Chain A
Amino acid sequence: MKMIAIPKKEWPAGLAKAAGSFRLFGPVKEKEFHSFKRLENGQLPDFSCQNTRLSPKHLVYPQSEVMLTYSLDESRPDHHIMKEAPADTSPRAVLGIRPCDAKAFVLVRMNFDTPDYKDPYWLRAYESTTFVGLSCASPCSSCFCTTAGCGPFHEEGLDVLLADAGDHFLAKVLTEKGAAWVAAGGWTQTADAKAEGRLADLRQAAEAKIASQVQTESLKAADTTALYNAGFWEEVSFACINCGTCTYSCPTCWCFDIQDETRGTSGVRMKNWDSCMYPLFTLHGTGHNPRGTKLHRVRQRFMHKLKYFVDKYDRGIQCVGCGRCVRLCPVNIDIRRVCGLMNGLAASGEACAID
């Protein structure tokens, strides 16, 4: 599709125009950290932010979301009957999402959009959103996107890819949705003939800065039970405090809980983020817990991302290499290292023997 040049001096006015037909979201700084928020009238997304501390997954998949409502008031004819909660599905645009976080939605979609069941909450939020990505000119040292099926200029999951080109943004329009957003902003200047080449140069320079890698090529062929029974889980999980930070900050983690909350006679049934790191996640009513130790739970997180997901969908690992869990884990448990251990065991051939 086509390439537009958006002069930076025309950026604010165009956004103001686009705000007429889109609800705009972008990274804004609050106290110390950036996060994705609804932009106030005239507020600009802060593109100086390397990436937000928490992923923008909450934009499509809120940490707490009302699904259904009910009344317990027996004088009402519909008492105790669940009803769908109203939702705002008017168009919105997320500005400045990084390519890794946009690709993460593509992976998570496979969980919520299946041939048998569709999660209407996730899907309607995703479908009403236009993703305007900002490529990474200077990736963080903990990023390993290029070996995690992604990259600083990766386009999957984006409707527009922006690249900072000095006094203007190069905007590569990738989808119809993206074209509609560019049109709403009134930016019409087609980029010159050299733009493709400039974008490719910027991309190459950025990819060259990614300093860390993961090896994943042997994971698929490995035997599940051999990886599961590997000797290294004790050592890998030893320091974990099961705080859940890794799963909450991860753009590709999607586990949730369902809870009813009643006030007086009316209430809501909601979906809340949950974490495989918590013992309650799998605790049976009888007291039995199939993942009763932290070794079980740490192993589940890595086995899910690096083996079960790989086997189930054949679309690579359930990680885009954003590096958040690496940066935020209080005890420095590092997915790059664990991936190396798993892949190494698989490659050594030992993981082919049935234990």
Chain B
Amino acid sequence: MRNPYLPYPVRIDDITVETEDKNLKTFKFVFLDPADEQKFAYKAGQFAELSVTGQGEIPIGIASSPTEKGFVMFTVNKVGRVSSFLHAMKPGDIMGLRGPMGNWYPWEKMQGKNVVIIGGGFAFTTLRSSIVYMLQPENRKNFGEIHVIYGARSPGMLLYREELAAWEQRDDIHMHITVDATSDPNWKYNVGFVPAIAEKKAPPAGSDTYAIICGPPIMIKFTQPVLDKLGYAHDKIIMSLENRMKCGIGMCGRCNIGKEFVCKDGPVFTLEQLNKTPREY
């Protein structure tokens, strides 16, 4: 069995600044050994440890979709030691990647179902992966209606703006983009907080509809009552957690919520599962 602490060597292929405050950058990595890309086979919702040699590792959700080949992509917020160092790195630099880790959104269970994605702030990364995955022509027929409610503080803080605009043009996905506030007279989309938009735009609850929520704690706190009001059952509400992590493989002991390790048994849980844990996240 492979040493689970040994990262695959990767090269930074491309870096894009995502947001107007420049605190979010998207990194595209290419594996130095192409055979490693096969070994890194992942599903939408999983994460990886970005290993910045000499600095440390950070757990980051995989933003590329398994349907995109030749690279893997992550969007990283500049927070502390490792992420700040990464923000200062250049295309061509060598680092490492460990993973893929954790479980994924329940693609098997969601076959043939409607999916509503509710995201806020920069937690949209694995949601992008999921949307790209579902919209892939051979996958699209496996899902019913797809709704996306995604909000950020301002238009300039939305991630993947070109892709959002392209998805807006399609008729096989219902986009509900929103910002907290804007002074831009040309803003064509919604204004308001994610929970309020969700209340208006989310499809009705039912045994055939799943909601995936990802966002800052405050957004989750206010969105959950909305979904309750709309009648979503707790086993149909899916959330992804971000506890502090090191090993990513259920061994170092820090990311648990009860007996569950967020890194290995999660990060994806249904609300029904979370209700039974001490909810230390």
**A residues touching B (Cβ–Cβ < 8 Å)?**
67-68, 70, 72, 79-82, 84, 111-112, 114, 116-120, 224-225, 228, 254-260, 262, 267, 269, 274, 276, 281-286, 288, 290-291, 296, 300, 303-304, 307-309, 311-312
Contact = CB atoms under 8 A, between A and B. Distances in A.
Contact of A304 (B5, B93, B244, B256): B256
A116 B253 contact: no
A290 B245 CA distance: 12
B98 to A, nearest CB: 9
Contact of B252 (A224, A225, A258): A258
A249 B51 CA distance: 31
A262 B259 contact: no
Given A80-B93, A117-B4, A285-B80, A72 B53 contact: yes
A224 to B, nearest CB: 5
Contacts of A119: 4-5, 251
B204 to A, nearest CB: 29
B162 interface: no
Interface stretch (B16-24, B54-62, B144-152, B167-175): B54-62
Contact of B253 (A120, A255, A269, A290): A255
Contacts of A79: 94
Contacts of B252: 255-258, 274
Interface residues of B, number: 44
A259 B252 CA distance: 12
B217 to A, nearest CB: 7
Nearest to B53: A80
Contacts of A300: 256, 280
B14 to A, nearest CB: 18
18 contacts: A68-B6, A70-B53, A80-B93, A81-B53, A82-B51, A112-B251, A116-B250, A117-B4, A120-B3, A228-B258, A255-B252, A257-B246, A258-B5, A274-B253, A285-B79, A291-B280, A300-B256, A312-B259
A260 B246 contact: no
Interface in B36-88: 51, 53-57, 79-80, 83
Contacts of A304: 253, 256
B1 A68 contact: no
Interface in B260-281: 264, 276-278, 280-281
Contacts, number: 126
Contacts of B190: none
Interface of B: 1, 3-7, 9, 32, 51, 53-57, 79-80, 83, 93-96, 217, 242-244, 246-247, 249-259, 264, 276-278, 280-281
B250 A282 contact: no
A320 to B, nearest CB: 18
A68 B4 contact: no
A260 B253 contact: no
A32 B96 CA distance: 46
A296 B95 CA distance: 36
